Amino acid sequence: MRILLWHVHGSWTTSFVRGGHDYVLPLTADRGADGRGRATSWTWPSSVREVRTERLRDEPIDMVVLQRPHEADLVEEWLGRVPGIDVPAVYLEHNTPRGDVPDTRHPMADQRDVPVVHVTHFNALFWDNGRAAVHVIEHGIVDPGELWTGELRRAAVVVNEPIRRNRVTGTDLLAELAAAAPLDVFGMGLTGLHEAYGLDPARVALHPDARQDRMHRLLAARRVYVHPIRWTSLGLSLLEAMHLGMPVVVLATTEAVDAVPPEAGCVSLRPDLLADAVHRFIDDPEAARLAGKAARAAAVERYGLPRFLADWDRLVQEVTR
């Protein structure tokens, strides 16, 4: 199949384009949000092509994966086709609902022709999906390998735009966690984090905009991975850390309580218990190793790439039949 989708979520797309289809990404002159084309921070196969928006009408698209409400209008404008009517389409929802939760109505709730695909069962439960057909296809991870060494007595966090997102990403919890162990923060939009939250640079080091492969190696050298996220879908960085064989200390919110088994680390709603767990793993490398083994086993079994791609193949066949 020839599938049109936008480069919205780089890590998720990295897994999706490992399937056996051809993938078309819109490209605009400024490579803006509606036309980024191919990724530069991830390695994508040659089956992923970027196509200038003015040439999309010449592409025999078999299916569209929408990820933002306005993309349906872009399909009509650029392809001259109505999603769900003239071309098969699904709407992929990456996010937890915002606003009047749990009564937040999904943008596609009144659409009968475009199924909604959620990435977690939590999201499918908490969004009001209305009349839309609902599917859940859980994440799949391109396995980076069991790289954990834990040689550094430090904890790692991956978070993008932690200042803007604030409580959503649990940024306010970093100070307490950094008191338990020196903390390395990886991600985008880290400038000003120390000043905004009164963090001690001697306890919190910033690693902005690392390429994914390099970040995996850096993460794997840290003793423990910390996931202080309050209100997002199940973070791919958490699943990647588990694949690396890292013990994980996780705030027990959204899908995390179902995705992380107790033997993989610590899952709790209490920041003080999370800090205690970080300290314990820092001081006990053997306990960290065993928890990391359990984390990897759980992640590979449930969030492996083959299952993810097979689930998507079944949905593609159903929608395009």
Cα distances (angstroms) measured from residue 299 to each of 146, 244, 261: 11, 10, 10
| Mean pLDDT calculated for residue range 316-321 | 96
Tell me the backbone φ, ψ of residue 124, rounded to 5 degrees. -60, -35
pLDDT score, position 71: 98
**Which DSSP symbol is given to 70?**
T
pTM for this entry: 0.94
Record the tokens describing residue 110, joined without a space: 């009144």
pLDDT score, position 163: 97
Cα distances (angstroms) measured from residue 233 to each of 121, 257, 310: 10, 12, 21
Q: Which of the pair, 248 or 43, is modelled with greater confidence? A: 248
> Does 219 score more than 90 pLDDT?
yes
> Does 96 score more than 90 pLDDT?
yes
> Does 41 score more than 80 pLDDT?
no
pLDDT band at 235 (very low <50, low <70, confident <90, very high): very high
Q: In the β-sheet with 134-136, what is the strand arrangement from edge to edge?
A: 48-52, 22-27, 2-5, 63-66, 89-93, 116-118, 134-136
What contacts 286, CB < 8 A, 6 or more positions away?
A: none
pLDDT in tens, 143-182: 999 999 999 999 999 999 999 999 999 999 999 999 999 9
> Does 291 score more than 90 pLDDT?
yes
Which residue in 238, 214, 209 sits closest to 226, CA to CA? 238
Return the SS3 of 221. coil
**How many separate helices (H) and strands (E) can be counted in the chain?**
12, 13
Burial of 164 (0-12, 13-18, 19+ CB in 10 A): exposed
Angstrom distance (rounded) from CA 209 to CA 215: 9
Is the bond leading into 247 cis (omega within 30 degrees of zero)?
A: no
Task: Tell the residue number behind the tokens 């859980």, with chain if given.
Answer: 138
Angstrom distance (rounded) from CA 290 to CA 246: 9
| Mean pLDDT calculated for residue range 265-269 | 98
Domains, in order of start, for the chain: 2-140+305-320 (3.40.50.2000), 152-303 (3.40.50.2000)
